Amino acid sequence: MSIHVALHHESVYRYDQPVALTPHLVRLRPAPHCRTPILAYSLKVHPEDHFLNWQQDPYGNHIGRFVFPTPAKELRVEVDLIADMTVINPFDFFVDDHAKTYPFSYGDVLRRELGPYLEAQPAEPSLKKLVEDLRTSDVGTVDYLVTINAALRDRVGYVIRMEAGVQTPEETLTKALGSCRDSAWLAVQILRNLGLAARFVSGYLIQLKADQKSLDGPSGTEVDFTDLHAWAECFIPGAGWVGIDPTSGLLAGEGHIPLAASAEPLSAAAITGSFAWTHSLPDQKLEQSFDFAMEVRRFKEDPRVTSPYTQEQWTAIDTLGRQVDERLTADDVRLTMGGEPTFVSIDDMEGDEWNVAALGEKKREISEQLLRRLAQRFAKTPILHYGQGKQYPGEPLPRWALKCIWRTDGQPAWKNSDLFAQESSTGVRQPEDAETFL
Whether 196 and 232 have beta carbons less than 8 Å apart is answered as no
Collect the ranges in the chain with pLDDT lower than 50: none
How do residues 73-125 score in pLDDT, each as one tens digit?
Answer: 999 999 999 999 999 999 999 999 999 999 999 999 999 999 999 999 988 99
How do residues 181-224 score in pLDDT, each as one tens digit?
Answer: 999 999 999 999 999 999 999 999 999 988 877 776 666 788 99
Nearest to 140 by CA among 91, 101, 88: 101
pLDDT for 40 = 97
d(CA 249, CA 151): 8
d(CA 54, CA 159): 34
Give the list of residues 6+ apart from residue 292 with CB closer than 8 angstroms, or none.
Answer: 9, 10, 11, 12
pLDDT for 14 = 95
Give the list of residues 6+ apart from residue 242 with CB closer than 8 angstroms, or none.
Answer: 90, 93, 142, 145, 233, 234, 235, 236, 251, 252
Roughly what angle, to the nearest 10 degrees, separates helices 180-193 and 125-134?
Answer: 60
Share of the chain above pLDDT 70, in %: 97
Whether 27 and 271 have beta carbons less than 8 Å apart is answered as yes
d(CA 321, CA 41): 38
d(CA 296, CA 206): 8
How do residues 158-168 score in pLDDT, each as one tens digit?
Answer: 998 888 889 99
Q: What are the beta bridge partners of residue 166?
A: none
pTM tops 0.85: no
pLDDT for 217 = 66
d(CA 77, CA 335): 58
